[in-house]
Amino acid sequence: MYEHDVLVVGAGGAGLRAAIAAHEAGADTAIVSKLHPVRSHTGAAEGGINAALQEGDDWELHAYDTMKGSDYLADAPAVETLAQDAPEDTMRLEHWGMPFSREEDGRVSQRPFGGLSYPRTTYAGAETGHHLLHTMYEQVVKRGIQVYDEWYVMNLATTDEEDPNDRQCEGIVAYDVQSGNVEGFKANQGVILATGGPGQAFDHTTNAVSCTGDGHAMAYRAGAPLEDMEFIQFHPTSLPSTGVLISEGVRGEGGILYNNDGERFMFEYGYANNSGELASRDVVARAELDEVAEGRGVEDEYVHLDMRHLGEDRILDRLENILHLAEDFEGVDGLVEPMPVKPGQHYAMGGIEVDENGQTCIDGLYAAGECACVSVHGGNRLGGNALPELIVFGKRAGAHAAGDDLGEPEIRTGYGDDVEDDDTELPVAPGASGLDSTDAVADGGVAAETGALEQAVERERARVERLMDKDSGVQHAEIRSKLQNAMTDYVNVFRNEEGIKKALKLIRECREEYQDVYVDDPSKTFNTDLQQTIETRNLIDVAETIALGALVRNEFRGAHWRQENQVRDDENWLKHTLVSWDDGEPSIFYRPVILEGEEKTYEPKVRSY
């Protein structure tokens, strides 16, 4: 058994920042991560970090752009905190040595990004995330913060009170990838989940194979609701063959989108008459798919992104990485030809419901970064707003878990008297149906009595043993691929009731097939087959919450388009969707969005660009 004051699960931008803050607040802090920190997916971030740094810009404009970009589904207290803290937290990175790109006069450069009213995105070439990770990992090493890397966290250890709001998180259970041992980690003050996104729930994604929604699934099964899961961002410029991202920085620097007829369609067909290519991501992604549907796509699949006119010097200075990606993955030389791009799953706006201090409704359980929903992105995240979220709310979660007083949060969490229940009829009974066998026993993070951690460790050891002992059945890859295809086919950019119901049925089938899953690789060490089998179980839960949210939200807001109701319905839907795991099945409820900021209310307006 290992023991620390604060345990941070995940070593991406959010986890590293949380650990530094918890350590600075005096807590004995450790990071537990399935990857070495600098291999975390934050390293793939290309474009930059939004922060109002320059004269002429201010945090209020940043907050306004973010509320508008969210299609008025973000909570104003969180958005204002993000916009207010981002400048100082970004400059702290600079003081820690982050090599931001600079202007001739030495000032940190900032570029325009989609949906921003001011060029507010700071960057380090087109490798911002890579430098961010390395800068913060240096700080972690410098402070001597303990890192358990290549430890896969399987579940949380929480107490078992009937109401999740009364539960307490006592620690985590993790699998040592190098030895195959399953061990308990006790957290005296708090566990912070910083496990990143669930992109692997989809077939065509810009996310790494490690983005399997583990933290989402663990928190969900322990009783913390998942919020606004239907809001998935599809990035307009991913490479068609692999999903690898071509940064919005290309359009920020002046890159242009063309259809197969050589038309600059964002203007030609009036998708965004003011901002064109730099409209918000949901707007551009839908425009591209409309072009393909109208027969104006290249090879009936994608459109072209052209940056040749920017000139070799500028491209090499600011976008060199993009040249390598286009060459390596599509065999295209971006200096002499346009690059093929199409929308790909990119980001989850929703996540584990937390307040401004990163706390869930379960005492001692926190979440930060992409796995959390505070919520600053609402229905659509603006490019460049995820990285500041990592550093602002990672820092707050770490400090609060370590005992710092950050004030009373305005955002409420968990089921309470301010929520509204849902009564939608579901096409299939979702949830744990078919999971009454041994898997269900090992499934919940909730222990039966005191000694929650010891019991959780025993359950997870039994789960590994069972998966390893079984010598035939279905392999996880088969189930995962069925799940990913169901999500990409039916819960993509364009959605309708019939399709989402089909997806829910297929997800239910995956859940049932998972009862017969087995691990082929008998190795005790570095058994990726075992790890991916467990991850697939998490993906099933997360995919189901995405599809459930998409089904019940019968309106068009931000990234969530519904064929049956193609308008934003502020009268009925200015509310967050919450899905919580309630006694073996999902239950859905709603909480009103908070539009009142410190000094003003963000009245919903038509969102045009």
Non-local CB neighbours of 346 within 8 Å, separated by 6+ positions: 199, 205, 206, 207, 233, 234, 235, 238, 245, 281
> Residue with CB nearest ligand FAD?
12
Phi, psi of 403 (to 5 degrees): 110, 0
Binding mask 6-35 for ligand FAD (x = CB under 6 A): ---xxxxxxx----------------xxxx
In DSSP terms, 594 is beta-bridged to none
Rank residues 173 and 506 by Cβ distance to ligand FAD and give the closer one.
173
* Cβ burial 452-478 (10 Å sphere, 16+ → b, else e): bbbbbbbbbbebbebbbeeeeebbbee
3-state secondary structure 195-228: CCCCHHHCCCECCCCCCCCHHHHHHHHHCCCEEC
**Angle, helices 452-469/528-552, rounded to nearest 10 degrees:** 110
Measure the CA–CA gap between 158 and 351, rounded to whole angstroms. 19
Which spans in 214-311 are helix H? 214-222, 249-252, 265-268, 281-293
Which of 245, 325, 376, 402 binds ligand FAD (CB under 6 A)? It is 245
> Does residue number 233 form part of the binding site for ligand FAD (CB under 6 A)?
no
Which of 19, 29, 48, 130 binds ligand FAD (CB under 6 A)? It is 48
> Does residue number 66 form part of the binding site for ligand FAD (CB under 6 A)?
no
Which of 110, 207, 275, 533 binds ligand FAD (CB under 6 A)? It is 207
Cα 140 to chain centroid distance, Å, stands at 23
Size of the site for ligand FAD (CB under 6 A): 43
Measure the CA–CA gap between 399 and 402, rounded to whole angstroms. 5
- Shortest Cβ 330–ligand FAD spacing (Å): 15
Which of 21, 27, 30, 45 binds ligand FAD (CB under 6 A)? It is 45
- Shortest Cβ 609–ligand FAD spacing (Å): 19
Please, are residues 378 and 239 in contact by the beta-carbon 8 Å criterion?
Answer: no
Rank residues 355 and 555 by Cβ distance to ligand FAD and give the closer one.
355
Rank residues 291 and 541 by Cβ distance to ligand FAD and give the closer one.
541
Which of 4, 5, 30, 47 binds ligand FAD (CB under 6 A)? It is 47
Residue 17: what residue type?
R
Which span (76-84, 314-322, 366-374, 418-426) binds ligand FAD, by CB under 6 A?
A: 366-374
Q: Kindly identify the residues of this chain, within the stretch 329-358, that bind ligand FAD according to CB under 6 A.
A: 346-347
- Shortest Cβ 67–ligand FAD spacing (Å): 17
- Shortest Cβ 357–ligand FAD spacing (Å): 17
Q: What ranges make up the beta strands (E) of 159-201? A: 169-176, 182-193
> Does residue number 533 form part of the binding site for ligand FAD (CB under 6 A)?
no
- Shortest Cβ 173–ligand FAD spacing (Å): 10
Q: Kindly identify the residues of this chain, within the stretch 185-204, that bind ligand FAD according to CB under 6 A.
A: 194-197
Q: Kindly identify the residues of this chain, within the stretch 552-581, that bind ligand FAD according to CB under 6 A.
A: none
Question: Of 497, 234, 243, nearest to 380 (Cα)?
Answer: 234
Binding mask 109-148 for ligand FAD (x = CB under 6 A): -------------------xx-------------------
- Shortest Cβ 181–ligand FAD spacing (Å): 15
Which of 40, 70, 275, 413 binds ligand FAD (CB under 6 A)? It is 40
Which span (181-189, 263-271, 322-330, 368-376) binds ligand FAD, by CB under 6 A?
A: 368-376
Which of 385, 455, 527, 532 binds ligand FAD (CB under 6 A)? It is 385
Which of 6, 30, 390, 506 binds ligand FAD (CB under 6 A)? It is 390
Which span (162-170, 384-392, 395-403, 479-487) binds ligand FAD, by CB under 6 A?
A: 384-392
- Shortest Cβ 140–ligand FAD spacing (Å): 12
Question: Of 28, 104, 90, 34, nearest to 59 (Cα)?
Answer: 90
Measure the CA–CA gap between 288 and 302, rounded to whole angstroms. 7
CA distances from 576 to 368, 421, 500, 555 (A): 18, 12, 19, 13
**Angle, helices 386-401/128-143, rounded to nearest 10 degrees:** 20
Which of 355, 370, 439, 555 binds ligand FAD (CB under 6 A)? It is 370
> Does residue number 46 form part of the binding site for ligand FAD (CB under 6 A)?
yes
- Shortest Cβ 193–ligand FAD spacing (Å): 8
> Does residue number 44 form part of the binding site for ligand FAD (CB under 6 A)?
yes
Q: Specify whether 480 is catalytic.
A: no
> Does residue number 42 form part of the binding site for ligand FAD (CB under 6 A)?
yes
> Does residue number 214 form part of the binding site for ligand FAD (CB under 6 A)?
yes
Measure the CA–CA gap between 296 and 306, rounded to whole angstroms. 16
Rank residues 212 and 580 by Cβ distance to ligand FAD and give the closer one.
212
Which span (43-51, 454-462, 476-484, 505-513) binds ligand FAD, by CB under 6 A?
A: 43-51
Which of 22, 79, 136, 153 binds ligand FAD (CB under 6 A)? It is 153
Measure the CA–CA gap between 255 and 306, rounded to whole angstroms. 6
What percentage of the chain's residues is helix, strand, coil (to nearest 5)? 40, 20, 40
Please, are residues 461 and 438 in contact by the beta-carbon 8 Å criterion?
Answer: no
Please, are residues 368 and 18 in contact by the beta-carbon 8 Å criterion?
Answer: yes
Check 111, 221, 281, 286 and give the catalytic one: 281
* Cβ burial 528-558 (10 Å sphere, 16+ → b, else e): ebbbbbbbbbbbbbbbbbbbbbbbbbebbbb
- Would you give the DSSP letter of residue 352? E
SS3 (DSSP) at 588: strand
> Does residue number 395 form part of the binding site for ligand FAD (CB under 6 A)?
no
Question: Of 145, 149, 132, nearest to 21 (Cα)?
Answer: 145
Measure the CA–CA gap between 406 and 389, rounded to whole angstroms. 17
Rank residues 206 and 413 by Cβ distance to ligand FAD and give the closer one.
206
Please, are residues 395 and 86 in contact by the beta-carbon 8 Å criterion?
Answer: no
- Shortest Cβ 471–ligand FAD spacing (Å): 26
Return the active site residues. Answer: 281
Q: Which residues form the interface with ligand FAD (CB under 6 A)?
A: 9-15, 32-35, 40-42, 44-48, 128-129, 152-153, 194-197, 206-207, 210-211, 214, 245, 346-347, 369-371, 384-387, 390
